[in-house]
Amino acid sequence: MRFLVDNALSPAVAEGLRQAGHDAAHVRDYGMAAEDDEEIFARAAQEDRILISADTDFGTILALRKTPKPSIILFRLSTQRHPGHQIRLLLANLPDFSADLDRGCIAVFEDTRIRLRPLPIAD
């Protein structure tokens, strides 16, 4: 799978995904650390990458654009914000919803569950 990790998360998340065999980049790899969310969203869409973030603004962008891609994985954990924990959560759960991400969805990792919502987000 192809991922773009937002600046709200550590570059270690992208590295952990790469070590697991995924094509993963962090926004810093592109020199985009200071770019706004719209530019980061556009880059993920252009390269057909799944955007991984802790920034809820990306959900708003998806809702306004009403597009089926890029898929987004959003961390909304109030505890366990350590990159190692995030990588373990991703790798343990990706097989369960990779088909949903391929079709287009937003996956929200919460403290006790993962919520999936297909894209585009309808009114």
Identify the pLDDT of residue 63.
Answer: 82
* Mean pLDDT calculated for residue range 4-30: 97
Q: Give the whole-angstrom CA distance, residue 37 versus residue 21.
A: 27
Q: What angle do CA 119, 20, 15 make, to 5 degrees?
A: 85
The predicted model scores a pTM of 0.94
Kindly report, residue by residue over 31-88, the tens digit of the pLDDT: 999 999 999 999 999 999 999 999 989 988 888 888 889 999 999 976 568 899 999 9
- Please give the distance of CA 122 from its chain centroid, rounded to a whole number: 20
Identify the pLDDT of residue 123.
Answer: 61
DSSP secondary structure string for all residues of 31-97 = T-TT--HHHHHHHHHHTT-EEEES-THHHHHHHHHT-S-S-EEEE--SS---HHHHHHHHHHHHHHH
